[in-house]
């Protein structure tokens, strides 16, 4: 598929119009919804609008596959299938990245990174399938105590629109590795790559019914999935409000869950940092994926001594970022929807009326080639007090708020003063200050001298309003396992 052809309006061939249930795409349903290309602010394809009946069918398929096939498949064989899937994802990376780019808006090279990251998740968990071993317990003579890890059963995966394929992969890969089967519900803004992933898994040898995907809205398909009495576990990534609704619904069936919610993560930059490294890091932390990242570094906490030089250069670099349709591979793509653009603009408009100084950006804009699309300028707002809305609330867009600190101690206090607890980053040459931050700030991840350092090997998740439970790493397997202890008197 030629990128120029797509940009000039040629429809993308081969996108699924149905769900993926029991090992195959279902026929296109009559109820279809449009998915938008944010770079053009126009619909580019339709997909199936799932209902509770589709969810019932997918859950039934997942239960059947769990009982009859997957839980009995030898762990080493599960590993071979996941590893094969990783290879097929890599083989198909360009097609998947183009679809991801169109559906979400993100720049093509970021989409390609996400696809390769998805492959990496399957590779990583492929190797873990046959290493899920339990314990033995030191009971007195005449007794034997041991534990085994059993798969929890059917896992429901609710996927957001900001990282569609990578969030799907980071949940589905460990679930399958642990021996669970899956029903995933991608976001209605970005349904396609999760569906394609299920198809690829099947081509890699995954038995029918082990991974099902139902597309549609949160209310019509997501809610019946998380409320389904036969679902044993839920992994939800999205907003705090929806996470709370999912948690309430899970309570009715006592369904276990992992909640990966929002963030308002600080990046602390101290006087003794490596300036170049910190500039690159802070820029990427807020403008990658146009700031639509739960773990975006959206608060710059900067020590007074370097404030002027650092923020001046940061603004100069932000101004120079290229903007455009994701397929032209700009440095900053559009945001995902018209509603989301309005939400971002609302934050800045309100801040202006409170007297905030916008150092750069602060307006909606468009693809300079076409005048189309849902774009927001890379925006940096001068020092705001800790109780300001811009400092407290997740904006989920290309908006960085500055907070000035008098010294390292003050910086760590500002960093930790937050209702969220997902990530905190620090740039400093002083190992003691870096490790104090790692010790004192209540967050699931601490990044030292490289924001977003690490990969699938490193556990990821939040504290406070950012949720609970961990994905990635071997820790990520625990959500999909239940420990059974056996204690026996043997003589």
Give catalytic residue positions: 260, 294
Q: Rounded to an integer, what distance in angstroms lies between the CA atom of residue 50 and that of residue 56?
A: 11
103 binds, among ligand NAI, Mg ion, none (CB under 5 to 8 A by kind): Mg ion
Q: Rounded to an integer, what distance in angstroms lies between the CA atom of residue 40 and that of residue 337?
A: 11
Backbone angles phi, psi at 402, to 5 degrees: -95, 140
Backbone angles phi, psi at 153, to 5 degrees: 130, -120
Q: Which stretch binds ligand NAI (CB under 6 A): 128-136, 231-239, 354-362, 363-371?
A: 231-239
- Considering only 35, 249, 428, 479, the residue that binds Mg ion (CB under 5 A) is 35
- Considering only 36, 125, 287, 420, the residue that binds Mg ion (CB under 5 A) is 36
**DSSP designation for 217:** -
- Cβ at position 153, least distance to ligand NAI in Å: 19
Q: In the complex with Mg ion, which residue's Cβ is closer, 184 or 273?
A: 184
Handedness of CA 400, 406, 411, 415 (dihedral sign): negative
Q: Does 294 bind ligand NAI (CB under 6 A)?
A: yes
Q: Cβ(143)–Cβ(487) under 8 Å?
A: yes
Residue 268: count other Cβ atoms within 10 Å of its Cβ: 28
Q: In the complex with ligand NAI, which residue's Cβ is closer, 218 or 421?
A: 218
Q: In the complex with ligand NAI, which residue's Cβ is closer, 248 or 319?
A: 248
Residue 15's closest CA among 89, 99, 91? 99
Q: Does 390 bind ligand NAI (CB under 6 A)?
A: no
Q: State how beta strands 181-185 and 211-213 pair.
A: parallel
- Cβ at position 388, least distance to Mg ion in Å: 32
Can you name the residues that pair with 40 across neighbouring β-strands? none
Backbone angles phi, psi at 358, to 5 degrees: -90, 110
- Cβ at position 401, least distance to ligand NAI in Å: 15
155: enclosing H helix or E strand: strand 154-158
Question: For the window 156-175, what string marks contact with ligand NAI as x by the rule CB under 6 A?
Answer: --xxxxx-------------
Q: In the complex with ligand NAI, which residue's Cβ is closer, 128 or 258?
A: 258
Q: Which stretch binds ligand NAI (CB under 6 A): 82-90, 108-116, 211-219, 356-364?
A: 211-219
Please spell the DSSP secondary structure of 440-486, one letter per residue: HS--SEEEESSTT---TTS-B--EETTEE--BSTGGGGGGGEEEEEE
Q: Does 242 bind ligand NAI (CB under 6 A)?
A: yes
35 binds, among Mg ion, ligand NAI, none (CB under 5 to 8 A by kind): Mg ion
99 binds, among Mg ion, ligand NAI, none (CB under 5 to 8 A by kind): none
Q: In the complex with ligand NAI, which residue's Cβ is closer, 81 or 290?
A: 290
64 binds, among Mg ion, ligand NAI, none (CB under 5 to 8 A by kind): none
Q: Does 292 bind Mg ion (CB under 5 A)?
A: no
**If phi over 0 gives left and psi between -120 and 50 gives alpha, with beta otherwise, what is residue 386?**
alpha
Q: In the complex with ligand NAI, which residue's Cβ is closer, 274 or 442?
A: 442
Residue 230's closest CA among 363, 102, 13, 52? 52
Q: Which stretch binds ligand NAI (CB under 6 A): 20-28, 119-127, 139-147, 241-249?
A: 241-249
Q: In the complex with Mg ion, which residue's Cβ is closer, 1 or 76?
A: 1
Q: In the complex with Mg ion, which residue's Cβ is closer, 73 or 104?
A: 104
Q: Which stretch binds ligand NAI (CB under 6 A): 4-12, 59-67, 236-244, 444-452?
A: 236-244
Q: Does 451 bind Mg ion (CB under 5 A)?
A: no
- Considering only 112, 231, 245, 278, the residue that binds ligand NAI (CB under 6 A) is 245
Quickly list H helices, 258-406. Answer: 275-287, 304-320, 338-353, 389-392
Query: Within 101-130, which residues bind Mg ion (CB under 5 A)?
Result: 103
Q: Which stretch binds ligand NAI (CB under 6 A): 7-15, 101-109, 219-227, 323-331?
A: 219-227
Query: Within 179-208, which residues bind ligand NAI (CB under 6 A)?
Result: 185, 187-188
Q: Rounded to an integer, what distance in angstroms lies between the CA atom of residue 305 and that of residue 404?
A: 10
Q: Does 291 bind ligand NAI (CB under 6 A)?
A: no
- Considering only 85, 261, 381, 443, the residue that binds ligand NAI (CB under 6 A) is 261
Handedness of CA 174, 175, 177, 183 (dihedral sign): negative
Q: Does 347 bind ligand NAI (CB under 6 A)?
A: no
Q: Cβ(86)–Cβ(123) under 8 Å?
A: yes
Q: Rounded to an integer, what distance in angstroms lies between the CA atom of residue 381 and that of residue 127?
A: 45
Closest residue to ligand NAI using C-beta atoms: 218
**CB burial readout 457-480, b (16+ within 10 A) else e:** eebbbbebbbbbbbbbbeebbbbb
For ligand NAI, how many residues bind (rule: CB under 6 A)? 28
**DSSP designation for 273:** S
Residues in contact with Mg ion by the rule CB under 5 A = 35-36, 103, 189
Residues in contact with ligand NAI by the rule CB under 6 A = 158-162, 185, 187-188, 217-219, 222-223, 226, 237-239, 242, 245-246, 260-262, 294, 340, 343, 394, 396
């Amino acid at each position: 598929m030629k990128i120029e052809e797509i940009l000039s309006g040629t429809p993308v061939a081969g996108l699924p119009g149905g769900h993926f249930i029991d090992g195959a795409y279902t026929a296109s349903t009559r109820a279809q919804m449009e998915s938008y290309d944010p770079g053009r602010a126009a619909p580019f394809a339709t997909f199936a609008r799932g209902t509770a009946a589709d969810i019932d069918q997918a859950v039934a398929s997942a239960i059947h596959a769990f009982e009859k096939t997957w839980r009995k498949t030898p762990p080493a064989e599960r590993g071979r299938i996941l590893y094969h899937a990783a290879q097929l994802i890599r083989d198909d990376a360009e097609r998947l990245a183009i679809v991801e780019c169109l559906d979400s808006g993100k720049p093509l090279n970021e989409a390609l990174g996400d696809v390769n990251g998805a492959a990496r998740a399957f590779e990583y968990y492929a190797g873990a399938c046959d290493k899920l071993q339990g314990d033995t317990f030191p009971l007195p003579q005449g007794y034997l105590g041991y534990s085994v890890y059993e798969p929890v059963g059917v896992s429901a995966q609710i996927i957001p629109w900001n990282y569609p394929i990578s969030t799907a992969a980071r949940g589905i890969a460990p679930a399958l590795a642990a021996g669970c089967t899956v029903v995933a519900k991608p976001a209605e803004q970005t349904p396609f790559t999760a569906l394609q992933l299920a198809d690829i898994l099947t081509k890699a040898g995954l038995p029918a019914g082990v991974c099902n995907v139902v597309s549609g809205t949160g209310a019509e398909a997501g809610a019946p999935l998380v409320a389904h009495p036969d679902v044993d576990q839920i992994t939800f990534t999205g907003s705090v409000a929806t996470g709370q609704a999912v948690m309430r619904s899970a309570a009715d069936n006592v369904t276990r869950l992992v909640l990966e919610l929002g963030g308002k993560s600080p990046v602390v930059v101290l006087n003794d940092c490596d300036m170049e490294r910190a500039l690159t890091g802070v820029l990427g932390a807020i403008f990658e994926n146009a700031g639509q990242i739960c773990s975006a570094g959206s608060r710059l906490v900067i020590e007074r001594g370097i404030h002027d030089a650092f923020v001046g250069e940061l603004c100069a670099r932000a101004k120079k970022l290229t903007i455009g349709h994701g397929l032209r591979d700009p440095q900053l793509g559009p945001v995902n929807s018209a509603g989301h653009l309005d939400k971002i603009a609302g934050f800045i408009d309100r801040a202006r009326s409170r007297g905030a100084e916008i150092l750069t950006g602060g307006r909606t804009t468009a693809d300079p080639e076409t005048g189309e699309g849902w774009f927001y300028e890379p925006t940096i707002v001068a020092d705001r007090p800790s109780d300001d809305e811009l400092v407290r609330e997740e904006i989920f867009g290309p908006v960085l708020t500055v907070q000035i600190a008098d010294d390292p101690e003050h910086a760590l206090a500002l960093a930790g003063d937050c209702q969220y607890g997902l990530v905190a980053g620090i740039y400093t040459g002083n190992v003691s200050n870096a490790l104090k931050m790692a010790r004192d700030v209540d967050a699931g991840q601490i990044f030292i001298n490289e924001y977003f350092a690490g990969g699938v090997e490193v556990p990821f998740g939040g504290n406070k309003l950012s949720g609970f439970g961990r994905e990635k790493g071997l820790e990520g397997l625990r959500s999909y396992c239940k420990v059974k202890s056996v204690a026996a008197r043997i003589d």
